[in-house]
Structure 1
Amino acid sequence: MKIGILATGITPDELLGQYGSYADMVEQLFALVDADFEYAVFDVRDGVFPDAAEQCDGWVITGSKFNVDENRDWMQRLKKLILEIDACDRPLLGICFGHQIIADAFGGKVEPYQGGWGVGLHSYQLLGDNPFIKDGADRFSISAMHRYQVTEKPENARVFAQSDFCKYAGLVYGDNILTVQAHPEFNLQYETDLVALRKGVAIPDDTADAGLETLHAEGAATDSERVARWMADFLVR
């Protein structure tokens, strides 16, 4: 199965050499569950787009430092591609910025959250019947790194995951689009280094410190492998 990774951002320069790009992290995520995928990466933020939505069997939109309300030319083009992917019934995953721009493409509202930044290890409650979740889980924890979030979901979206901090943390559109606000592709060390890098620059000191506490707490662990299995199963349907 060929998966097209629509790269909307890249790892900060200070961390790129150690951890790879966000596209690399998506591939590493699926490697956790030995997913039998091949990949094609499209740097859409640089104007590199696939020729057609049918060019790959499934798609993933990565995270990004950009915000949806910037509405850059490449974002407008990406939203058209999202609708084309949906129209041809290809499976699509969205992570963080990907989660947000998919919601925006379908008429949802994305804006800075009044509660501020979400950073560190966050836990989410699963809701409803989700055929792609076959392990009986009712919660999961993964790394968060966002100031914006979906504040009004599109009419065609169903909530499958939420928390007190993030009401629309996971959305499903029909049986071919799955999105999450947080980052299953981030391991705890990368998240730690990223929060430390952004502390006092983009993220307020107290918020960063609280996020770092969740990452350093006794027993702290991410459910990245579990979420990777859900996502891989969703892609192969």
Structure 2
Amino acid sequence: MPRLLIVKTGDSFADVARDHGDFETLFRRVLVDSPAVPSVRVFDAPRASFLPDLDDIDGLLITGSHAMVSHAEPWSEALRPWLVEARARDIAMLGVCYGHQLMAAAFGGTSDFHPAGRESGTREIALTEAGRRDPLLGSLPTRFRAHLSHAQTVLTAPAEACVLAANAHDPHQALRHGPRQWSVQFHPEFTPAVMRAYLAHQREALRDQGEAPERLIADVTATPEATGLLSRFALLAARARETTPQA
């Protein structure tokens, strides 16, 4: 079975963590149902004093956060060269939201506040031609719905990155950074209840940018296709481990 490490990059709202689970719990809850039944550990990056040994890892899942990549906090900056090394070793990676932005920044792109403001709610995303052929995202419909909650974004994709999905708000909804290294701006781990809770916290910010939070809350739906990416990622990590000679 693949040895997966959830890189926890922050905490959710206290009430969300209490009622629905923190970021790592949401990931684990989906992965428990994966046919790969992976071994999953959690690394709490903001509170850690050292980085895990990559020799013991087959796949990395990098979570969202309420931190901002552009603020360059020391723990976040320390992850950059570690992620570069992980990519050089061809360790499978899936970055989500903050993880998406951090991977892009680590690999030569730029991440900062989106000039059009926040994107929140259940939104439609479209695969690019490359996305339709991708081993991870290619399992999705050409157009699918996903949960989103972000103020920062990937403004410039790394030169070697391949854009796999986009929408009107964000041309970099999903990127591939190498053979087995992906990142997505949306939250495959969010449930509808979690998405509604996030929108409730963001009411004032959304109104300030001219959006109707109550309509966004009413429009929240299940996103089984997007959620399925986590199990698909675990399967791809498992297959890679099966074909890699073990020490």
Q: TM-score, normalised by structure 1?
A: 0.90
Equivalent residue of 2:40, what SS? strand
Equivalent residue of 1:160, what SS? strand
| Deviation of 1:229 (Å) | 3.8
Equivalent residue of 2:86, what SS? helix
Moved more, 13-22 or 99-108: 13-22
Q: Which residue of 1 aligns with 2:76?
A: 75
Residue by residue over 1:93-129, the C-alpha shift from the partner in whole angstroms, topping out at 9 and shown as x without a partner, is 1000000000000110111111110000011111112
User: What amino acid is aligned across from residue 38 of structure 2 in structure 1?
Assistant: F
Q: 1:157 to 1:20 in 2, by over 3 A?
A: same
Contact 1:153 1:168 in 2 (8 A): yes
Measure the CA separation in 1 of the matches of 2:21 and 2:76.
23
User: Percent identity between the aligned chains?
Assistant: 25
| Correspondence 1:45 to 2:49 | no
User: What amino acid is aligned across from residue 75 of structure 1 in structure 2?
Assistant: S
User: What amino acid is aligned across from residue 20 of structure 1 in structure 2?
Assistant: G
Measure the CA separation in 1 of the matches of 2:157 and 2:76.
19
RMSD: 2.0
Contact 1:43 1:49 in 2 (8 A): no
Counterparts of 1:113-132 in structure 2, within 5 Å, are 113-127=114-128, 128=130, 129-132=133-136
Measure the CA separation in 1 of the matches of 2:33 and 2:210.
28
Q: Of the candidates 149, 155, 162, which is equivalent to residue 151 of structure 1?
A: 155
Measure the CA separation in 2 of the matches of 1:150 and 1:199.
24
User: What amino acid is aligned across from residue 139 of structure 1 in structure 2?
Assistant: R
Moved more, 61-70 or 224-233: 224-233
Residue by residue over 1:105-157, the C-alpha shift from the partner in whole angstroms, topping out at 9 and shown as x without a partner, is 01101111111100000111111121234546212211100011001100111
Contact 2:127 2:164 in 1 (8 A): yes
Q: TM-score, normalised by structure 2?
A: 0.87
Contact 1:29 1:184 in 2 (8 A): no
Q: Which residue of 1 aligns with 2:141?
A: 137
Measure the CA separation in 2 of the matches of 1:25 and 1:140.
20
Report how many residues are paired: 234
Q: Of the candidates 221, 229, 232, which is equivalent to residue 230 of structure 1?
A: 232
Residue by residue over 1:149-179, the C-alpha shift from the partner in whole angstroms, topping out at 9 and shown as x without a partner, is 0011001110001001110000001212110
Measure the CA separation in 2 of the matches of 1:226 and 1:103.
23
Measure the CA separation in 2 of the matches of 1:214 and 1:199.
10
Contact 1:195 1:208 in 2 (8 A): no
Counterparts of 1:25-44 in structure 2, within 5 Å, are 25-44=26-45
Equivalent residue of 2:190, what SS? coil
